[in-house]
Amino acid sequence: MEYPFKQTKEFTVQRNLPTFSGGDFTVTDANGNVVFKSSGKVLSLHRRRLLQGAAGNPLLTMEKKILTMHKRWRVFDGDSINGQNFAFSVKRSSVFQLKTSLDVFMSDNKDEKLCDFHVKSSYFNRSCKIYQGDRVIAEVNSINCC
């Protein structure tokens, strides 16, 4: 898979004020332009989140599966949780973790013997790396200001 970014891109994630749905945030580019927005769906039996583009168009719907040991999330294209729109799933790599470690399985990886991507994050370093195999393809670092 070829990635569109050949150079570092800087984005800012800003958590919005706490809401009943919880965890809403906005992602902006270096010029302050909105790139993505995320919001929870209030009064949903399943914990659902919607990722929207800058113009408010629905990009992905994320749904937390209930009664799962690995805290699996299923992700769908657009604003529907129709099985035909299934894009990928994410689950914790192991049930008990000290550091967050996630496995990502694309929709065509039905046997899930090997993950397509792996995410490792460190709460204390406030960082996150996304791997494809042994290669780091994305990295998030938190910079504390002032």
Domain ranges of the chain: 10-88, 93-141
Q: Is the pLDDT of residue 22 over 60?
A: no
Percent of the chain with pLDDT over 70: 80
pLDDT by residue (tens digit) across 124-140? 767 888 999 999 988 88
Backbone φ and ψ of 38, nearest 5°: -125, 140
For 10-88, which CATH superfamily applies? LURP1-related (2.40.160.200)
Average pLDDT, the chain: 81
pLDDT by residue (tens digit) across 70-99? 688 999 999 888 889 999 999 988 877 777
Q: Is the pLDDT of residue 112 over 80?
A: yes
Q: Are strands 127-132 and 135-141 parallel, antiparallel or unpaired?
A: antiparallel
Pairwise CA distance, residues 87 & 115, whole Å:
14
Q: What is the pLDDT of residue 77?
A: 94
List beta partners, residue 53. 36
Q: What is the pLDDT of residue 18?
A: 59
pTM for this model (two decimals): 0.77
Q: What is the pLDDT of residue 28?
A: 86
- Torsion on CA atoms 8, 26, 33, 59, rounded to nearest 10: 80
When pLDDT is averaged across residues 96-122 and rounded to a whole number, the result is: 90
pLDDT band of 48, cuts 50, 70, 90: confident
